[in-house]
Structure 1
């Protein structure tokens, strides 16, 4: 009689479509009220064939490696829905490839392999294989560079002091009309010094200006910081400029960061229907990159 009771109990478990672990009220096919453990493996070999028993794999080798996914078959080796998680903590790359006859899908175009760079993570899942032998890249995370800081801003290039509509040079931030930014993320033009063109039979010097900008936020760490400057023009004037870096130092008011730049007009020199001492307000695109 006990044997019959056990058989009926087992049959009842098979009929129940929802199974709970550490819960009496499962709300899914499998409901786990607690932690979940899956296989973990750290690999250092230069080639590795991923096993059917693998789940989370970390690579910590000293050279580039190739991980090969299992061969997709039928029945118990169809692998539909199987997930592999791969993390690269080495200084080298992982080439993740499908087995011969199988493919990887990053988008809807199958590929043979995918490179997982240093610090990156990838997940692959086996699809339903209606098209035959495909692993989908379900998730990839590329690392953020940890040794680079980048800051960008757009500053003003004021009109020349000797233009047809001149704006006099100044020092000590006596003109606030050409400051840019908001709040503490503001750049002041603390001074500008204009030099007019010089055009003779022996030489030609462009109209130019020395500008000192001061950042009103917390001073930048200027160690190993490299400014990248480009001049822009969003006006109706055809003027073309070049910008040259002079200095970047925390020597401003109260130790604020000051950037000194030389700009010059290069589309023409002298008088050619217009005065090459520019009368408009133009743009200086600033990118500060610091490597540490």
Structure 2
């Protein structure tokens, strides 16, 4: 009997006083000086009704899933302040939906459901609205960044070897005038090989050039790397070019990364009076390297 009475007394004190766990001086209604554990549940089923006993839920199923929140009621089922934490580690989406005529509130316009995409996290809390019932989406974290590395640079397109006047072709980096970059982020023009235009009554071939660039920094991991090339023109010349990718490999000096590109002038083929389409200016090659890992 004495034990029964002491439990009742302790229960009465815990209702009306601040309670401390591992602290003699609680500064809140409940103060915990230590770790806190709550229910953890990993779900693989594509349909799941969230339980009143759930707290942190992870989804790792193989298809799109639907998670349904408990229906908000009154009294012990009002759920005011109830928090659910939901993490999606699958490769599919979770549709989080309210039930029993309840709604979700992302802003001031209630909605019936919310999609938690792959890699994302959401917290939902029940507010004090028992008329209609509302869950507040209190916190969301978007998916982790895409698994893509990106590098960008701007290289030089040298003048054509058959221009008037032209710049003679070279190999083995014997001309350093068109290298670009600073520090270790430098691209050498190892070689250029020019092909002049051909313009006859039967066909026309544009002026073009094959350029080999070599990166002087740490070689790139070229596995699953995809170059995106655009030719630019910041000069007073009206020339228009197109650039095509030929190869990307770590086969340069001491294993450095080499990029081979074919560049062609496309706005003008052949001769026009004293002018010809073998360009004499220096133009730009915008380079974007993207690697999926």
The reply to whether residue 143 of structure 1 matches residue 144 of structure 2 is yes
Inter-partner Cα distance in structure 1 for 2:122 and 2:231: 41
Alpha-carbon deviation of 1:184?
Answer: 2.3
Contact persistence 1:209–1:262 (CA under 8 A): yes
Counterpart of 2:30 in structure 1 is 30
1:96 aligns with 2:96: yes
- The farther-off stretch of 59-68 and 35-44 is 59-68
CA displacement 1:39-61 (0-9 Å, x = unmatched):
11122222111122211011233
Say if 1:127 and 1:136, in contact at 8 Å, map to a contact too: no
Instruction: Please name the residue that 1:281 is paired with.
Output: 282
Per-residue deviation at 1:74? 4.7
Deviation at 1:200, TM superposition (A): 1.9
Distance 1:84 1:154 in 2: 49
Q: Measure the CA separation in 2 of the matches of 1:250 and 1:158.
A: 23
- Matched residue, 1:265: 265
Structure 2 counterpart of 1:240: 240
2: distance between equivalents of 1:209 and 1:226? 21
TM-score calculated relative to the size of structure 2: 0.82
In structure 1, what is the Cα distance between the partners aligned to 2:193 and 2:107? Answer: 55
Specify every segment of 5 or more residues in structure 1 that has no aligned partner in the other structure, as ranges: none
Closer/same/farther in 2, CA of residues 167 and 102 from structure 1, 3 Å limit? farther
- Deviation string for 1:7-46 (max 9, x for gaps)? 9987776554x54321233344433211001111122222
Q: Please give the TM-score of this superposition, normalised by the length of structure 1.
A: 0.82
Aligned-residue Cα RMSD (Å) equals 3.3
SS at match of 1:24: coil
Residues 1:154 and 2:154 aligned together: yes
